[in-house]
Amino acid sequence: MRTIEWRDGTVITVDQTKLPHETVTLKIKTIDEMAEAIKNLRVRGAPLLGAAAAFGLALTACHSKANRKEKLLTELGNSAKILKSTRPTAVNLFWAADRILAKAQDYSGNAEELKMLVIREAQRIADEDAEANRSIGKNGAELINDGDVILTHCNAGELATVEYGTALGVIRAAWKQGKKIKVIATETRPLLQGARLTAYELKRDGIPVTLITDSMVGYVMYKRLVNKVVVGADRIVQDAVVNKIGTFAVAVLANEHGVPFYVAAPKSTFDLKRKAGDVTIEERKPTEVTHFANKPTAAQGTDVLNPAFDITPLKYISAIIHESGIYYKQDFCKFANQI
């Protein structure tokens, strides 16, 4: 099932803030609606943000009244700016917007043809993501053995992508191969993507899943209840993987216990011109930490730190699972040259 689709000039997706209790379909018709959905995490997950940005530009193209190419290019540029101001960390959004802008700028046809081109390119980005995830799943499944218990953090599933998922794609592929695996999902505070989305996806698909709080990762490692970790990524730079807050702690604990730590991500997540120090870590509003379901948990006025992502240096990562193959720690340099 596709998490995001283009249907007659409208982008169809599901409001992920309402899951798993309600399945509310979003019909997004404008770039501002798309930006709002991204900012408020109705649409989230690095690869999905790439497709969402692409479809955002497709909305601009589709509904534009521009009859001159230059005018349309300006409108697309403005829309890209709006998209890029939503969330700074996941690179896929920037990657998709820039890919479409570059293609549009190079195009020699007229305005009407350019509109079609943008819509087709957005569709291609979505299709490529779906395909990449299947390949990631197939490649990653080779790392998974019958009987494995796999820990995952946040949601790198179908809902974080156009289809199938990255980290959960690996788990799905292994499960489909008949490997009897189990998953431990961290709830992923503050926004509970693990509890709300990952546990829900896996349960729905019949894959055994046990939910824990983020604070229990050390315990399950100590008790040897986990023998592999697979997570997704929001941005992979030269020296680190940037992913949902809490990932770094999982990586350090996995290393301490000799548990392999795998990162599954498609090419749209790679940003190998940059290093960890160049990445802006999104700082979100304090009420995500001090409140829960609109109820305060801490005393009023409590100071808060709320980074949405953290940085895991490559030395903690056993292998990266990519649509083109598995790249082990010792081959990261080679890999960097191939992307």
DSSP conformation class of 280: P
Q: Looking at 8-16, 37-45, 169-177, 208-216, which segment touches its own copies (CB under 8 A)?
A: 208-216
Torsion angle (degrees, nearest 10) of CA 63, 65, 66, 72: -20
Residue from the set 12, 101, 130, 252 that interacts with its own copies by CB under 8 A:
252
Assess contact for 47 and 130: CB atoms under 8 A: no
Nearer to its own copies, 29 or 285 (CB): 285
DSSP SS3 for 295: strand
One-letter amino acid of 171 = I
Neighbours of 16 (CB within 10 A): 25
Residues numbered 159 to 188 that lie near its own copies (CB under 8 A) are 184, 186-188
Nearer to its own copies, 63 or 257 (CB): 257
Q: How far apart are CA 138 and CA 141, in angstroms?
A: 5
Residue from the set 258, 273, 301, 337 that interacts with its own copies by CB under 8 A:
301
Asked if 109 is part of the footprint of its own copies (rule: CB under 8 A), the reply reads no
Tell me the residue ranges of DSSP E strands in 118-218: 149-152, 182-186, 209-212
**For residue 242, which of 286, 276, 201, 277 has the smallest C-alpha distance?**
276
**Least CB distance from residue 303 to its own copies, whole Å?**
5
Residue from the set 40, 256, 315, 333 that interacts with its own copies by CB under 8 A:
256
Q: Establish whether 106 is a catalytic residue.
A: no
**Least CB distance from residue 94 to its own copies, whole Å?**
22
Q: Identify the active-site residue in 129, 234, 271, 310.
A: 234
Nearer to its own copies, 109 or 219 (CB): 219
**Least CB distance from residue 173 to its own copies, whole Å?**
22
Q: How far apart are CA 154 and CA 196, in angstroms?
A: 9
Q: How far apart are CA 282 and CA 115, in angstroms?
A: 32
Residue from the set 72, 217, 231, 241 that interacts with its own copies by CB under 8 A:
217
Asked if 298 is part of the footprint of its own copies (rule: CB under 8 A), the reply reads yes
Assess contact for 150 and 230: CB atoms under 8 A: yes
Q: What are phi and psi of 243, to 5 degrees?
A: -150, 175
Residue from the set 45, 169, 190, 266 that interacts with its own copies by CB under 8 A:
190
Q: Report the 3 state secondary structure along 211-266.
A: EECHHHHHHHHHCCCCCEEEECCCEECCCEEEEECCHHHHHHHHHHCCCCEEEECC
Q: Looking at 75-83, 156-164, 210-218, 229-237, which segment touches its own copies (CB under 8 A)?
A: 210-218
**Least CB distance from residue 177 to its own copies, whole Å?**
23
Asked if 243 is part of the footprint of its own copies (rule: CB under 8 A), the reply reads no
Report the interface residues with its own copies, using CB under 8 A: 20-21, 184, 186-190, 192, 195-196, 199-200, 203-204, 208-220, 222, 225, 245-249, 252-253, 256, 289-290, 292-293, 295-299, 301-307, 310-311
Catalytic residues: 234
